[in-house]
């Protein structure tokens, strides 16, 4: 009779180099810094910063996607999410389905099919961190968790953009609680389109990380900041305390399972 000693398999994945990590932190820090500046400015500067926030946020999450999952993931994610968002937004503007009747301000710049070029990058900015969180906690319900998370995040986004005049709604029926200028159909539209987007991304994107891979700290920081800035902004800068509690409570409840598993350290 022989006794065999069990030796656990070593984790061969290594972290990215210090130089590359600094680059990721720098891009993410610029995106966050621009959001900090946002409530302190107005006029043309605010218009420029509004678009810069989205582009830098999307760049940070795309860079993390590349460093964590590789080029196939990053470029497939970029191309598909951009196309999906552009088509969905175009249908929404033309037909008022599924979001409701709305229109974009001309000050958002260059357009493709009546949709400002910057708008799909807002989807790109959020879909990667939401997919990461959904895959970690949702099992076979990745699409549902992801759709709810995107709809919850939009409860911060839409009232802010409507207040600043970036787009406008025609409200004919029920509206989102504490957001009388936004129809309830918008939340339904985000839930529906978010579920579709996350479901397809979950199917087509690789799940294995690179051997030399970025950690999930950038995703964690981005999601925490999205929640924190949304609550603080509505409380102290945008005069929407009710929305701070309403949207903040929903978004926090959605993110809690993800951060709980991160705290426990589950693989």
More confident residue, 13 or 217: 217
In sequence order, what are the residues at sequence separation of 6 or more whose Cβ sits closer than 8 angstroms to the Cβ of residue 155?
176, 179, 187, 243, 246, 247, 250, 251
User: What was the pLDDT predicted at 1?
Assistant: 46
User: What was the pLDDT predicted at 6?
Assistant: 43
- The mean predicted confidence, pLDDT, of the chain is 93
Instruction: Summarize the chain as % helix, strand, coil (round to 5).
Output: 70, 10, 20
Q: Is the dihedral of CA 79, 150, 252, 202 positive or negative?
A: negative
User: What was the pLDDT predicted at 7?
Assistant: 45
User: What was the pLDDT predicted at 87?
Assistant: 97
User: What was the pLDDT predicted at 265?
Assistant: 73
Global pTM reads 0.93
Give pLDDT tens digits for 121-134.
Answer: 999 999 999 999 99
What percent of the chain stands above pLDDT 70? 94
CA 230/CA 218 separation, integer angstroms:
18
CA 183/CA 179 separation, integer angstroms:
8
Give pLDDT tens digits for 120-167.
Answer: 999 999 999 999 999 999 999 999 999 999 999 999 999 999 999 999
Give pLDDT tens digits for 192-250.
Answer: 999 999 999 999 999 999 999 999 999 999 999 999 999 999 999 999 999 999 999 99
Return the closest-CA partner of residue 123 out of 163, 90, 80.
80
* Vertex 157 angle, CA 168 and 128, to 5°: 130
Q: What is the mean pLDDT of residues 96-121?
A: 95
Residue 3 pLDDT greater than 60, yes or no? no
User: What was the pLDDT predicted at 137?
Assistant: 94
SS3 (DSSP) at 41: coil
264: confidence class by pLDDT, cuts 50, 70, 90:
confident
User: What was the pLDDT predicted at 10?
Assistant: 46
Q: Is residue 60 within a helix (H) or strand (E), and if so which, with residue range?
A: helix 43-69
């Amino acid at each position: 009779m022989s006794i065999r000693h069990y030796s656990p398999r070593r984790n061969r994945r290594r972290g990215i180099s210090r130089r590359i990590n600094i680059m990721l932190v720098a891009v993410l820090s610029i995106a966050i810094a621009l959001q900090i500046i946002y409530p302190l400015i107005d006029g043309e500067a605010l218009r420029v910063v509004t678009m810069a926030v989205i582009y830098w946020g999307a760049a940070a999450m795309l860079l993390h996607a590349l460093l964590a999952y590789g080029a196939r993931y990053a470029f497939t994610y970029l191309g598909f999410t951009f196309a999906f968002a552009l088509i969905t937004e175009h249908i929404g503007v033309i037909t008022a389905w599924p979001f409701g009747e709305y229109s974009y301000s001309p000050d958002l710049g260059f357009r493709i099919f009546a949709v400002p070029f910057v708008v799909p990058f807002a989807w790109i900015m959020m879909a990667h961190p939401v997919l990461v969180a959904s895959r970690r906690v949702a099992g076979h319900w990745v699409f549902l968790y992801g759709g709810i998370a995107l709809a919850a995040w939009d409860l911060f986004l839409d009232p802010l953009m409507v207040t600043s005049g970036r787009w406008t709604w025609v409200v004919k029926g029920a509206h989102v609680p504490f957001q009388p200028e936004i129809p309830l159909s918008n939340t339904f539209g985000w839930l529906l389109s978010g579920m579709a987007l996350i479901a397809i991304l979950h199917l087509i994107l690789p799940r294995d990380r690179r051997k030399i891979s970025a950690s999930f700290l950038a995703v964690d920081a981005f999601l925490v900041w999205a929640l924190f800035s949304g609550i603080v902004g509505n409380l102290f800068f945008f005069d929407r305390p009710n929305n701070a509690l309403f949207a903040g409570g929903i978004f926090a409840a959605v993110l809690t399972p993800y951060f709980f598993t991160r705290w426990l350290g589950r693989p």
